[in-house]
Amino acid sequence: MRIAHLSDLHLTRGPLAAQPAAALADALARLLALEPRPDCVIITGDLADTGHPDEYATLRAILRSCPVPVHWPDTCTATPPRSSPAP
């Protein structure tokens, strides 16, 4: 099994929101371009910067298109529901 790991996304909202969201989308694209492709992605650390629902909406929107499962442990700070929605 191949597991990719991302950490400390710090997705945010407002005027600074574009850069972290673009960085996550770019990181996922790079991971998915690997040969062989990872079987899943684990995300640890701070997923959102402040824990605002809009930050998690951004996270879900980006992860929705990921064709492999994405998981994060309960110990992540300011966490939304545990795993990404099914693609």
Q: Within 10 A of 24 (CB to CB), how many other CB atoms are there?
A: 20
pTM: 0.81
Burial 70-87 (b: 16+ CB within 10 A, else e): bebeeebeebbeeebeee
- Tell me whether residue 49 is in a domain: yes
- Tell me whether residue 79 is in a domain: no
- Tell me whether residue 55 is in a domain: yes
CATH number at residue 36: 3.60.21.40
Domains of the chain: total: 1
Maximal CA-CA distance, the chain: 39
- Tell me whether residue 36 is in a domain: yes
What pLDDT, on a 0 to 100 scale, did the predictor assign at position 79? 47
- Tell me whether residue 31 is in a domain: yes
Structural domain boundaries enclosing 28 = 3-71
The kind and range of the H/E element at 3 are: strand 3-7
- Tell me whether residue 87 is in a domain: no
What pLDDT, on a 0 to 100 scale, did the predictor assign at position 86? 41
Block mean pLDDT (10 aa), the chain, length 87:
94 93 96 96 90 89 92 63 46
